[in-house]
Amino acid sequence: MSTSSQTILVTGGNKGIGFEICRQLARLGHHVILSARSAERGETAVAALAKEKLEVEFLLLDTSDESSIREAASTLAENHQALHALINNAAILDVWQGSIVEAGAAGIRDCFVTNTLGPILLTQALLPLLEAGRPSRVINVSSQLGSVENMTDGWAGYGISKAALNAATRKLAQALKPRGISVNAASPGWVRTDMGGQSAPLPVEQGAANIVRLITDVPSTLTDRFLEANGEIPW
């Protein structure tokens, strides 16, 4: 638990839960690096926060693109000594909502590349900065739909990619514990965003707060957990 200012990178920060995470962390006085795959959408988001007198830094980062991940990591290393937290928030939902029996290869592959591989490669690329910031943390924004224990049919690409992200979370947690970096998965709940839709019960402020609490309320030593607002979700 730390109240001092931390340097925190958020992926997919231009809208939805990611944008609101950036806003809440900036309000708490942290140095927020808002990343987005589109310079235009990212700069627009940064400008919206500036109107609220919240200053955040922009970083161009497409988490589905290995060269973008490498370039973003090198830009960060040029401008920062250390990173205290990485919030892997960016994700996509597959267009196919129906049964896995009819799920297309492209939808499953795209979800895996953005939702699973991206967070793994980005964590690898940022290890020197995260080690310099230790005790530091990686927070993988996951979903109830990624819980193997509660797995149901539908949204195959998304559910499988989040279950795989959870598996990656556990492996990274074990690998990085000796290096002073905690790694946890966290669900924001079902939230009213472009992804969650308008029927979702939670406003975006609450969804983001359910992730931000991992920075403000959870000890940096807690690792290898799948957390939600009120406790833990079975893997």
Ligand X SMILES: NC(=O)c1ccc[n+]([C@@H]2O[C@H](COP(=O)([O-])OP(=O)(O)OC[C@H]3O[C@@H](n4cnc5c(N)ncnc54)[C@H](OP(=O)(O)O)[C@@H]3O)[C@@H](O)[C@H]2O)c1
Span of 13-21, 51-59, 94-102, 125-133 interacting with ligand X by CB under 6 A? 13-21
Strands (DSSP E) contained in the chain are 7-10, 31-36, 57-60, 85-88, 136-141, 181-186, 226-228, 231-232
Q: What is the Cα 140 distance to its own chain's centre?
A: 5
Q: How far apart (Å, rounded) are the C-alpha atoms in residues 214 and 225?
A: 11
Q: Which range in 1-9, 83-91, 128-136, 169-177 contacts ligand X by CB under 6 A?
A: 83-91
DSSP one-letter code for 190: S
Q: Are 204 and 194 in contact (CB under 8 A)?
A: no
Q: What are the tokens at 112? A: 């895996």
The catalytic site residues sit at 158
Q: Which is nearer to ligand X, 11 or 136 (CB)?
A: 11
How many other CB atoms sit within 10 Å of the CB of residue 208?
Answer: 27
How many binding residues for ligand X (CB under 6 A)?
Answer: 30
Closer residue to ligand X, CB minimum distance, 81 or 199: 199
CB 166 within 8 A of CB 145: no
Judged by CB under 6 A, the residue of 24, 63, 147, 169 near ligand X is 63
Written as six digits, the tokens of 231 are 């406790």
Binding of residue 17 to ligand X (CB under 6 A): yes
Q: If binding is defined by CB under 6 A, does position 24 make contact with ligand X?
A: no
Site for ligand X in 29-58 (CB under 6 A): 36-38, 41
* 172 touching ligand X, by CB under 6 A: no
CB of residue 180 to ligand X, shortest distance in Å: 25
Which of 138, 141, 183, 218: binder of ligand X (CB under 6 A)? 141
Question: Please, are residues 207 and 229 in contact by the beta-carbon 8 Å criterion?
Answer: no
Q: Closest Cα partner for 54 from 85, 19, 87?
A: 19
- Judged by CB under 6 A, the residue of 22, 83, 91, 108 near ligand X is 91
Among 46, 176, 196, 235, binds ligand X (CB under 6 A): 196
Q: Between residues 164 and 195, which has the closer beta carbon with respect to ligand X?
A: 195
Interface ranges with ligand X (CB under 6 A):
11-12, 14-18, 36-38, 41, 62-64, 89-92, 114, 141, 143, 187-188, 190-191, 193-196, 200
